[in-house]
Amino acid sequence: MKITKKRLAHIVFESDDWASKMFDIVLLFLILGSILVAILDSVASLRSSYGDFFIWLEWIFTALFTVEYFLRVWLSRKPQGYIFSFYGIVDLLAILPSYLSFFVVNSQLLTVVRALRLLRVIRILKLGRYVTEAEYLQRSLRASSHKIMIFIGFVVTIVLIMGTLMFIIEGPEHGFTSIPVGMYWAIVTLTTVGFGDITPSTPLGQFVSSIIMLMGYAIIAVPTGIVSTEMASQRRKADAPKLVRCTNCGKDDLKIADNFCSNCGVKLP
């Protein structure tokens, strides 16, 4: 059975029939397989035992992805449009690390960038309806960006003050060898991570440490509240009824679903 270029393009770029869906599903399994190989190859014990096998698998995946990339370029109506598109760049980055391994040691481990190609699952599983929810989040983040920047500036100021204070209180003998080190400790403590590699030893330093720990819990809740408020605002705007104006009498609080003006009775456009 001869497959035309048009039919092949439909299989590669679409996902509305059995053949195109199977192509995408097989591609996704290949992507997952190549990511798994890169992860396993980073484990020293597995690499020493199965290193050659991993290399062969990686080059098989790379060869398949290279063929697929050039196939997409050839089948595209506008090759340059695909090459410089988001997916085109991701597809290219998915094959470059293996070829770079000839020149840069361990660059093949960067093949985990292929995980970005899993974004195609949105098209395959018809998850486009969830894009609207993502747009709500995007608009909320954009609307609250100024508040978040002010908040970040406030946090940086606290980190600078607390880091400097701990450098003065504890000093180099307790591990606080400089103000940047003190700021590092302040960030770790304020975010409640607490690596424990630097800890205050003096009573005053421990008191200051307790204060910044308590501040950390309060600070974490602030950006969540800002974004949540904006998301609720965006949702209210989206759910608000769309209003239109009557061209005859000028009444401007009519619902878009209305057929006639409630004031003058004229049929609405």
pLDDT along the chain (269 residues), means of 10: 77 81 86 83 86 89 91 90 86 82 64 66 54 68 80 88 92 91 91 84 91 83 72 65 66 62 66
pLDDT score at 256: 58
The closest alpha carbon to 88, from 108, 65, 109, 110, belongs to: 65
- Tokens for 135, please give them: 């747009």
260 — phi, psi (to 5°)? Answer: -130, 155
Its pTM stands at: 0.54
Q: What is the pLDDT, as a whole number, of residue 87? A: 80
Residue 95, Cβ density class (10 Å: 0-12 exposed, 13-18 middle, ≥19 buried): buried
Whether the CB-CB separation of 222 and 151 falls below 8 Å is answered with: yes
Rounded CA separation 11/124 (Å): 12
- Bridge partners for 254 per DSSP: 244
List the Cα angle 118/81/138 in 5-degree steps.
55
Locate the DSSP E strands across the chain.
243-244, 254-255
Query: Under 8 Å CB-to-CB from 50, ≥6 apart: which residues?
Result: 40
What would the DSSP string read from start to end of 119-137? GGHHHHTTGGGGHHHHHHH
pLDDT at position 67: 93
